[in-house]
Amino acid sequence: MAYAMVRGWALLLILAMWATQVVAAAKPPLHVVITIDTETSAGCSSRGCVPVPIEDRILGLHDGRYYGIDLMMDLLEKHGMRGTFFVNSFLDAAYPNKEIETFVHRILARGHDVQFHAHAEFRCLRLCPRRDPGCWRQCTRHESFIGGNSYEAQLAILREGVRNIERWTGSYPVAFRGGSFDADENTIRVLHALGIRFDSSMDLPSQRLSKLYPANRVADHEGVVEIPLYTFRDDILGRQLNKFADMESLSLLELKQLVRTAEQHDLRTAVFIMHSFSFCREPDSCPNRQGIDIFDSFLSFLRSEPGVQVIMLKELAREYERRPMDFIGSGYVPTYGYWTVLYRSFNRFSLSSNNRLFAIANLAAALLVLIPILVAIRALYRRRRTGGPLSR
CA–CA gap between residue 93 and residue 88 (Å, rounded): 11
Q: What are the mean pLDDT values of the chain's consecutive 10-residue runs (392 residues total)?
A: 57 51 65 98 81 94 95 98 98 96 98 98 90 89 94 98 98 97 97 98 91 97 97 86 92 95 97 97 84 97 98 98 96 81 59 60 62 70 67 46
Q: What's the confidence (pLDDT) of residue 22?
A: 39
Establish if 388 belongs to a structural domain. Answer: no
d(CA 183, CA 227): 13
Query: How many CB atoms neighbour CB 326 within 10 A?
Result: 18
Is residue 77 domain-resident?
yes
**Distance between CA atoms of 313 and 187, rounded to whole angstroms?**
19
**HSE toward the beta carbon, residue 281, CA cutoff 13 A:** 13
Q: Is 251 contained in some domain?
A: yes
Neighbours of 13 (CB within 10 A): 10
Q: What is the pLDDT of residue 288?
A: 93
Number of domains observed in the structure of the chain: 1
Q: What is the pLDDT of residue 370?
A: 66
How many of the other CB atoms lie within 10 Å of CB of 193? 14
In a domain, 248, yes or no: yes
Asked if the structure places residue 19 within a domain, the reply is no
Instruction: Calculate ∠ Cα 276-277-281, nearest 5°.
Output: 175
378 falls within a domain: no
Separation CA 385–CA 381 (nearest Å): 6
Question: Residue 276 domain-assigned?
Answer: yes
Evaluate whether 218 touches 328 at the Cβ level (below 8 Å).
Answer: yes
Task: Give CA–CA dist 251/254, Å, rounded.
Answer: 5
* pLDDT (0 to 100) of residue 20: 43
**For residue 372, what pLDDT is reported?**
72
Question: Rounded to a whole number, what is the distance in angstroms from the first to the last CA of the chain?
Answer: 89
pLDDT computed for residue 290 by the predictor? 92
β pairing state of 198-199 and 175-178: parallel
Burial of 34 (0-12, 13-18, 19+ CB in 10 A): buried
Tell which residue, 255, 272, 259, 297, has the closest CA to residue 79: 297
CATH at residue 296:
3.20.20.370
Q: What type of residue is 270? A: A
Indicate left, alpha or beta for 248 from its phi (over 0: left) and psi (-120 to 50: alpha): alpha
Handedness of CA 19, 22, 26, 29 (dihedral sign): positive
Q: Which residue segment(s) compose the domain that 172 sits in?
A: 29-332
Distances from the Cα of 372 to the Cαs of 348, 360, 367, 378, 383, in angstroms? 30, 19, 9, 10, 16
- How much is the pTM? 0.84
Q: Would residue 23 count as lying in a domain?
A: no
Q: Which pLDDT value is given to residue 239?
A: 82
